[in-house]
Each structure stands twice: as structure tokens, then as C-alpha cells.
């Protein structure tokens, strides 16, 4: 997770601000300095003013209210300075770019946000614009109030968890504003795009189709996207993110077309200041029909991105020290020399701790702990000697003074990653760490076409035989896929779909006349292989079956009622593991939960009293306690990873029903669509299309056995209906 921004990953606003200093591949020469009078705001608490012994810049260290050298460079350059105590702990901060710089609550609040964003040297945005963006953010007043309270309490703002939490909020409010301002330099695409990180993205016309990117409305800006068919049954993929990625492809049965080892490299694009953004399209092979393209970070991409993240730190320091953009030297190449020195100094920790981290937050924290003043100083000397060819080493002694508070600032800002772990949509390297993003592509006649994705479920035939069927949501056409033997019984809410693996899972009970047993059937819905059967001798029941694409496991509860366990089921081995036992006061009425495959969460609604219900949010990794919020009586629960909301059918007074959204963090409910009177949305008959943002629900009229399939647009609540569909249970998409 990366609200901490530029230091330890590649920020989405990297190199966005004219004259703010730092970041990116730039040209530099020798240092030039100017003077600023660094004063303390007289309204600061007297105790705070008494703590401060020095004001430190990259080029100087002086008492407050005296002339302080800062890099001069080009007009408007801003240099990060600190007011420190006798132990060089940063108390206040500011970006200095004028004859007088006032270190205050406001300057510190702005510096906390901008240093997390890396406002860097470019012709796109000025420092004043970036400062205004920060100050105009909705959360800025709360941030400045938290900074003031911290100072009044005798705590340095950068060590306050409350302050860092507010920094994270403002950072994530400012990023889309800055990106939209930068994006005016490019002509945005008007095509429909997706930026969902759901496990089952399906590419479709019109192109370009965005696979990854922080701005959903811009297909080709700061994103990875399918540009066009390549003429050979595959597609062209362009990477305009400033991070390296990796791609490979396979058919729907999992047979490699372009194997993952080594796969294809999607090199990092130049940062934003290099307008126009240029990137070379990479041909990813396909079969001219339906196939999967997967974009991820393999070991080579992760290594390249960590190295670039460290290089950005050195580039920032060099530009602070030199303060001038010129021609003739490739700063990024020089920084990489320093990176090599620094990584070599880490020894085996680089591979065993940093590159082996399972999460981006783990990478973040490991880097913060390993980037010491000594290691940064040594790497800087190598990079600086390459970039500046300096005839004097005086800069090394002055910068060493600045590195101490800078490094403390850097390490403490890493806590921001933990302060707002959900604010990740606009993050890059850290958010995409270990990402595996498959995208289904359908081609016909060298054209990318819309993939036809049916619904799946269980239909009971007139003879009572349960049958797995597919249902075309547009036409209502039903096709039988697999009929179970006559002595097999399928339970309610005991079916689930793996949309990428094209597998339908169903728990069935067999009755031999003398005993009954439970089995898990795994059915290939493409018909390419016969069903596999896994015996489940130790499972009394399993309700609310849900498939988790990230782990490959099934989840559900062992029973209805109170005090029941949530369990996982390995569909390959039949291994069952208890994950959590619900309290005795929590009664599960409807055997339906929902899984968040990206966030590794399981949601379950249950009754806690007369007309009183709660939503349990369970961390499937076991690293956090369940979160509980009040919720209405909702069934057919599904989770949408792109919106972060749950959807389902709410039972309302007067025997009426509505499709609603439910915020799992707050419990707030929004009505999407109210069903007509005398209409009954079926239990276990709802499903979600996370790509087109549609909800499917089979509905029965009061005086008719005729079923209708409702397809409801989640963004506008407008339904379309298909009549004469059969009663299908355990509906999945």
C-alpha cells in the first residue's frame, strides 16, 4: 500500500511539479545556492520554538531567523528544509523558494503531503499550483488541525499517527486532482474503459481497453492497455505506467501460448515530465479465438521497480543538492550506479527480505528500515560524482547534515502506509506488488469482439434430476451442461463458479438407500473434460459456497444457525480448515456470504435479535479481528471489488423488496432499484457482473409460475427483463 508515495515506490504524480525539485531522469550540473531567511511562525507554541536549534537545508545548517543557503537552480525551484531539535529530529518543514521562508503549521502540513507525492521538476505544474491543490483538499483543514494539536501536545507532527493518517487522506484526495490537471496535456480517449482489479476482467470493444490504471476515465493515460489486435491472433499491449511489468498468455484450458517463463517484458514508461508520454506496444500472442492475457510483476519486474524506487530517492537528493536542471548528464543512470552500491551493501537481505515480501507494505517497511543515513550517503556520493563531476567534496559534508532529518522524515512517513491501508486505488508499484491480473480476450476475424459470458446455476428437471445449466442473460436461452445421477441431491447455496478457470463447483449428497455421503463435483463448463469428484467425509454440510480466485479455495459455513464455523475447502484435495467461529449470539438465517478476492475478506449477514442484523467482515488472512457493523436484512449478497460495495436484496416492510448497496465499512445502505409489487426475488438467485456493473436476479410473480430474469444497471438502477426463464438456483456469473 502506498500513500507514502515517492520514497519507496513510484508515485502516480512523480515528476509532476515545475520547480519543486527531484525525481525522474534529468540533467544536472554543479550546485548554485541562494539565500532564504528561515523564520519560525511567531504563533507557534513557545515550547515548540524552544525545542528548535537549527534550520537545515541540503546545503546549509543555521539557527532560525538567519540566512540559510538553499539551491538556487532555475526560477521557482523549491527546496525542502527542516527545523530540527538538538538531535536533528525534524519538528517543522517547508519548501523554500523565496527570500523569506516561514516554518509554520501550514508549511509543515503542505510539506508532509507534497513530500509524500514527490512534487518534481517539470513544465506541467508549478509549486504554487500543487500547494493550492493540497490546501483546497477536503481533508486539509483536519490535517492542519492535527499538526497544531500535535505541536501543542509536545509531539513532532511526523511522529503522530493521527497526523500521518490525515496526510494519507489528503494525499489520496490530491492525486486525482493533480492527475486530471496533468492529463490535459494528452487528449483523453472517449472510449469505455475499466480499471477494476477484479479477477475476471473481460476485454471488449471499443479499444483501447484499460487493464491497469489509476484513472478509470482515461484509457491511455498512465495505464496499461490493449491497443489493437496484432494481426496474428494476439493483441498489442502498451505500458504507460512508470513501473515495469510482465505479460504472458494461455488458452482457456490453461495451455501456454506465450509462457510465463520468461514471458514478455513491459518496460516502464518515462515519467510524466517526458511529454508526450511515449511507450512501445508489445505483441502478446493469442489464438485468434478466446484466450487469457495476464499482466503481473515477475521477479525481474519487481527488482527493476525496487531499484527505480531507490533511484528516485537519490535523484531527489541530487536535485535538492544541485538545484539546477541542465544538459549533458543522465541522472537516472548515475543514480542507478548508487543503487547498485546500496543494494550490494544490503547483502542477502535484498533478495530474502525485500524482493521476497508478500505484500507491497512489506516492501515499503523493509526499504524504510534499510535506507539508513550511511547507506544513502554512500550511494549519493557515487551518484553525485557521476552526475556532477564535482571538483570539490564540500557538498558531501553539508548534505550529510541534511540527510539525518531527511532520513527520519522518510522513515516516519512510511507509517502512513499503515494509517490508511484501504487508500490504494491510485498507487502503483506498492499496490501492484505481486499482482496477477488475467484478462479474457475474444477475437474473431482479427477483431477484438465482445465475449459472450453466460450465467450458470442448477435447474431441477421435471423428473427431479438436478442439472448444471448455462443461461444467456440477453436471450434467456438455457443450455444443459451436466445432469447429476437420479440419486444425487444438490443443496441450496452449495454451488459456486470459477469464472477464469471455467469450473462450476457443486456439493452433492448421494443416497445409496442405507447411507448418504457428500461429494464436491468440479464441472468444466466448456465441456472439455469430465467432472472430477472429491469425497468430503468429514464435512457435515457447507452452505453459502463462495470461490476465492486469489487463493483458489472455496469458503462457506458448515450450517445455518448460531455459533457455526466459517470454513475453507480446497477443491483439489478436499482439505477443510476452520477459519472463524461466529458467536452464539449471531444467527445465520440465509446461507450466503460474499468474498472479496482482492482484499481477502469474507462477508456474512446474520440476525442478532428481533429485526436486528449485523454484517461480519472477516479477514481471511487471520491478521485482523473481524469488523462488525449494523446492517439490514439482505440476501443474495455479492461483493464488487471496483466499487468496494456489497450488493443484495433487502427485505422491506409490506412484503416488498429492493436491490441495495451496502458499505461494509460503515453499514450505510443505498437503494439501487425497487422491485414491482407482488414480485419476489428468488433466494440464491442473484449474481454480479463486475465488469459491466450489472446485477442479475431471477424474479417470480405472485400469481404466476413464470420466472423473469432482471438485469439491473448498478450505476443507474435501470432494469431490463427476459421472460420465460426457468427456476435456476445458485446463480453465478
Per residue in 106-161, pLDDT tens? 999 998 888 766 544 344 567 788 899 999 999 999 999 999 999 999 888 888 87
- What pLDDT, on a 0 to 100 scale, did the predictor assign at position 514? 53
- What pLDDT, on a 0 to 100 scale, did the predictor assign at position 494? 77
Strands (E) across 172-244 are located at 201-202, 209-212, 224-229, 235-239
What percentage of the chain reaches a pLDDT higher than 90?
A: 21
- Which cell goes with 477? 436461452
Q: What is the mean pLDDT of the chain?
A: 77
Whether 493 and 516 have beta carbons less than 8 Å apart is answered as no
- What pLDDT, on a 0 to 100 scale, did the predictor assign at position 325? 39
pLDDT tens per residue, range 643-702: 889 999 998 888 889 999 999 989 999 999 999 888 888 877 788 887 778 899 988 875
H or E element: which one contains 329? none
pLDDT at 482 over 80: yes
Q: How confident is the model at residue 26 (pLDDT cuts 50, 70, 90)?
A: very low
Angle at CA of residue 187, ends 185 and 188, nearest 5°: 115
CA dist., res. 522 & res. 482, Å (int)? 11
Identify the bridge partners of residue 656 per DSSP, sorted by sequence position. 652
Give the residue carrying C-alpha cell 526560477: 75
Q: Which has the closest alpha carbon to 373: 324, 335, 332, 317?
A: 317
Higher pLDDT, 343 or 515: 343
Packing angle between helix 394-413 and helix 299-322, nearest 10 degrees?
130
CA dist., res. 588 & res. 435, Å (int)? 34
- What pLDDT, on a 0 to 100 scale, did the predictor assign at position 376? 75
- What pLDDT, on a 0 to 100 scale, did the predictor assign at position 396? 53
Q: How confident is the model at residue 416 (pLDDT cuts 50, 70, 90)?
A: very low
Q: How many other β-carbons are positioned within 10 Å of the β-carbon of residue 413?
A: 23
Higher pLDDT, 175 or 38: 38
pTM (2 d.p.): 0.56
pLDDT tens per residue, range 462-475: 556 788 899 988 88
Is the sign of the CA dihedral 659, 661, 667, 669 positive or negative? Answer: negative
Q: What is the mean pLDDT of residues 209-217?
A: 73
DSSP string covering 33-75, please? EEEEEEEE-TTS-HHHHHH--EEE-SS-EE-TTSEEEEE--ST
Is the sign of the CA dihedral 341, 343, 348, 351 positive or negative? Answer: negative
- What pLDDT, on a 0 to 100 scale, did the predictor assign at position 41? 96
Q: What is the mean pLDDT of residues 477-482?
A: 89
Q: Which has the closest alpha carbon to 92: 159, 30, 145?
A: 159
Whether 629 and 640 have beta carbons less than 8 Å apart is answered as no
Q: What is the mean pLDDT of residues 178-186?
A: 61
3-class secondary structure, 6: helix
- What pLDDT, on a 0 to 100 scale, did the predictor assign at position 192? 29
Whether 81 and 102 have beta carbons less than 8 Å apart is answered as no
Helix ranges (H only) for 76-219 are 105-117, 127-135, 140-152, 161-183
Q: How confident is the model at residue 306 (pLDDT cuts 50, 70, 90)?
A: confident
- What pLDDT, on a 0 to 100 scale, did the predictor assign at position 409? 67
H or E element: which one contains 327? none
pLDDT at 5 over 60: no
Which pairing describes strands 601-609 and 612-619: parallel, antiparallel, or unpaired?
antiparallel
Identify the bridge partners of residue 140 per DSSP, sorted by sequence position. none
pLDDT tens per residue, range 496-544: 888 777 889 988 877 655 556 778 888 888 877 788 888 776 666 678 8
Whether 497 and 547 have beta carbons less than 8 Å apart is answered as yes
CA dist., res. 235 & res. 229, Å (int)? 4
Q: Which has the closest alpha carbon to 259: 281, 233, 226, 284?
A: 284
- Which cell goes with 44? 507557534
- What pLDDT, on a 0 to 100 scale, did the predictor assign at position 275? 44
Q: What is the mean pLDDT of residues 432-453?
A: 82
pLDDT at 16 over 70: no
Tell me the CB-side half-sphere exposure of residue 13, using CA atoms within 13 A: 35
Tell me the CB-side half-sphere exposure of residue 487, using CA atoms within 13 A: 9
pLDDT tens per residue, range 63-121: 999 998 886 653 444 778 889 888 888 899 998 877 889 999 999 999 888 876 654 43
Q: How many other β-carbons are positioned within 10 Å of the β-carbon of residue 581?
A: 14
Q: Which has the closest alpha carbon to 226: 213, 236, 217, 234?
A: 236
Identify the bridge partners of residue 596 per DSSP, sorted by sequence position. 601
Q: Which has the closest alpha carbon to 266: 292, 324, 305?
A: 305
CA dist., res. 42 & res. 102, Å (int)? 9
Is the sign of the CA dihedral 310, 313, 317, 318 positive or negative? Answer: positive
- What pLDDT, on a 0 to 100 scale, did the predictor assign at position 43? 94
Helix ranges (H only) for 389-512 are 394-413, 416-419
DSSP string covering 622-646, please? SSSPPEEEEE--EEEEEEETTTTEE
Which residues lie closer than 8 Å to 721 by C-beta, 6 or more apart?
Answer: 708, 709, 710, 711
Whether 57 and 103 have beta carbons less than 8 Å apart is answered as no
Identify the bridge partners of residue 521 per DSSP, sorted by sequence position. 506, 533
pLDDT at 25 over 60: no
Q: How confident is the model at residue 20 (pLDDT cuts 50, 70, 90)?
A: very low
- What pLDDT, on a 0 to 100 scale, did the predictor assign at position 107? 95
Higher pLDDT, 86 or 391: 86
Give the residue carrying C-alpha cell 499491449: 237
pLDDT tens per residue, range 356-378: 877 766 776 677 677 776 777 78
Whether 585 and 608 have beta carbons less than 8 Å apart is answered as yes
C-alpha distance from residue 609 to each of 406, 586, 631 (Å): 55, 8, 12
CA dist., res. 496 & res. 494, Å (int)? 7
Q: How confident is the model at residue 454 (pLDDT cuts 50, 70, 90)?
A: confident
CA dist., res. 544 & res. 639, Å (int)? 14
Amino acid at each position: 500500500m502506498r500513500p507514502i508515495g515517492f520514497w519507496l515506490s513510484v508515485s502516480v504524480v512523480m515528476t509532476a511539479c515545475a520547480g519543486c525539485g527531484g525525481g525522474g531522469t534529468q540533467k544536472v550540473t554543479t550546485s548554485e545556492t541562494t539565500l532564504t531567511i528561515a523564520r519560525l511562525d511567531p504563533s507557534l507554541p513557545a515550547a515548540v520554538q524552544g525545542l528548535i536549534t537549527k534550520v537545515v537545508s541540503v546545503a546549509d545548517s543555521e539557527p532560525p531567523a538567519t540566512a540559510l543557503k538553499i539551491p538556487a537552480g532555475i526560477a521557482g525551484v523549491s527546496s525542502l528544509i527542516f527545523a530540527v531539535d538538538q538531535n536533528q529530529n525534524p519538528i517543522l518543514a517547508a519548501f523554500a523558494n523565496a527570500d523569506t521562508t516561514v516554518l509554520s503549521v501550514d508549511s509543515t502540513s503542505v510539506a508532509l503531503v507534497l513530500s509524500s507525492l514527490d512534487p518534481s521538476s517539470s513544465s506541467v505544474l508549478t509549486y504554487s499550483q500543487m500547494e493550492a491543490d493540497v490546501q483546497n483538499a477536503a481533508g486539509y483543514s483536519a490535517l492542519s488541525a492535527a499538526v497544531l494539536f500535535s505541536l501543542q501536545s509536545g509531539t513532532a507532527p511526523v511522529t503522530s499517527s493521527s497526523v500521518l493518517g490525515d496526510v494519507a487522506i489528503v494525499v489520496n484526495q490530491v492525486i486525482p486532482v493533480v492527475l486530471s490537471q496533468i492529463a490535459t496535456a494528452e487528449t483523453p480517449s472517449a472510449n469505455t474503459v475499466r480499471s477494476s482489479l477484479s479477477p475476471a476482467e473481460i476485454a471488449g470493444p471499443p479499444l483501447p481497453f484499460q487493464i491497469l490504471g489509476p484513472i478509470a476515465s482515461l484509457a491511455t493515460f498512465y495505464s496499461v492497455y490493449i491497443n489493437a489486435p496484432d494481426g496474428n491472433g494476439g493483441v498489442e499491449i502498451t505500458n504507460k505506467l512508470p513501473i515495469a511489468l510482465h505479460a504472458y498468455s494461455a488458452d482457456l484450458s490453461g495451455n501456454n501460448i506465450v509462457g510465463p517463463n520468461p514471458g514478455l517484458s513491459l518496460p516502464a514508461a518515462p515519467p510524466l515530465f517526458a511529454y508526450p508520454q511515449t511507450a512501445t506496444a508489445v505483441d502478446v500472442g493469442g489464438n485468434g479465438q478466446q484466450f487469457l492475457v495476464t499482466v503481473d510483476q515477475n521477479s525481474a519486474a519487481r527488482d527493476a521497480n525496487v531499484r527505480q524506487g531507490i533511484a528516485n530517492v537519490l535523484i531527489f537528493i541530487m536535485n535538492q543538492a544541485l538545484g539546477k536542471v541542465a544538459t549533458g548528464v543522465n541522472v537516472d543512470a548515475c543514480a542507478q550506479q548508487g543503487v547498485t552500491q546500496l543494494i550490494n551493501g544490503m547483502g542477502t537481505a535484498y533478495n530474502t527480505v525485500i524482493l521476497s515480501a508478500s505484500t507491497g507494505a512489506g516492501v515499503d517497511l523493509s526499504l524504510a528500515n534499510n535506507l539508513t543515513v550511511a547507506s544513502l550517503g554512500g550511494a549519493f556520493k557515487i551518484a553525485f560524482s557521476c552526475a556532477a563531476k564535482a571538483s570539490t567534496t564540500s557538498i558531501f559534508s553539508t548534505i550529510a547534515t541534511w540527510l539525518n532529518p531527511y532520513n527520519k522524515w522518510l522513515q516516519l512517513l512510511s507509517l502512513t502506509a499503515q494509517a490508511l491501508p484501504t487508500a490504494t486505488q491510485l498507487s502503483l508499484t506498492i499496490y501492484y506488488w505481486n499482482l496477477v491480473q488475467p484478462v479474457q480476450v475474444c477475437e474473431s476475424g482479427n477483431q477484438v469482439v465482445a465475449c459472450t459470458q453466460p450465467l450458470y446455476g442448477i435447474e431441477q428437471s421435471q423428473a427431479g434430476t438436478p442439472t448444471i445449466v448455462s443461461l444467456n442473460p440477453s436471450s434467456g436461452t438455457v443450455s444443459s451442461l451436466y445432469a447429476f445421477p437420479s440419486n444425487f441431491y444438490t443443496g441450496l447455496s452449495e454451488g459456486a463458479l470459477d469464472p477464469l478457470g471455467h469450473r462450476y463447483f457443486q456439493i452433492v449428497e448421494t443416497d445409496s438407500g442405507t447411507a448418504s455421503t457428500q461429494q464436491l463435483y468440479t464441472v468444466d463448463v466448456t465441456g472439455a473434460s469430465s467432472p472430477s469428484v472429491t469425497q468430503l467425509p468429514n464435512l457435515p454440510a457447507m452452505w453459502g459456497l463462495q470461490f476465492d480466485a486469489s487463493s483458489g479455495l472455496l469458503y462457506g459455513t458448515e450450517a445455518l444457525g448460531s455459533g457455526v464455523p466459517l470454513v475453507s475447502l480446497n477443491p483439489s484435495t478436499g482439505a477443510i480448515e476452520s477459519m472463524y467461529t461466529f458467536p452464539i449470539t449471531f444467527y445465520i438465517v440465509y446461507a450466503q456470504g460474499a468474498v472479496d478476492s482482492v482484499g481477502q475478506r469474507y462477508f456474512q449477514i446474520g440476525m442478532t435479535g428481533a429485526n436486528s442484523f449485523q454484517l461480519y467482515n472477516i479477514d481471511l488472512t487471520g491478521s485482523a479481528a473481524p469488523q462488525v457493523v449494523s446492517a439490514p436484512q439482505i440476501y443474495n449478497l455479492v461483493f464488487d471489488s471496483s466499487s468496494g460495495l456489497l450488493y443484495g436484496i433487502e427485505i422491506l416492510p409490506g412484503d416488498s423488496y429492493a436491490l441495495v448497496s451496502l458499505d461494509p465499512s460503515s453499514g450505510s445502505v443505498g437503494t439501487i432499484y425497487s422491485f414491482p409489487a407482488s414480485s419476489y426475488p428468488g433466494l440464491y438467485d442473484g449474481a454480479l457482473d463486475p465488469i459491466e456493473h450489472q446485477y442479475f436476479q431471477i424474479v417470480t410473480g405472485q400469481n404466476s409460475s413464470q420466472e423473469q430474469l432482471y438485469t439491473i444497471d448498478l450505476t443507474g438502477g435501470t432494469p431490463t427483463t427476459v421472460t420465460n426463464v426457468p427456476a435456476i438456483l445458485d446463480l453465478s456469473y
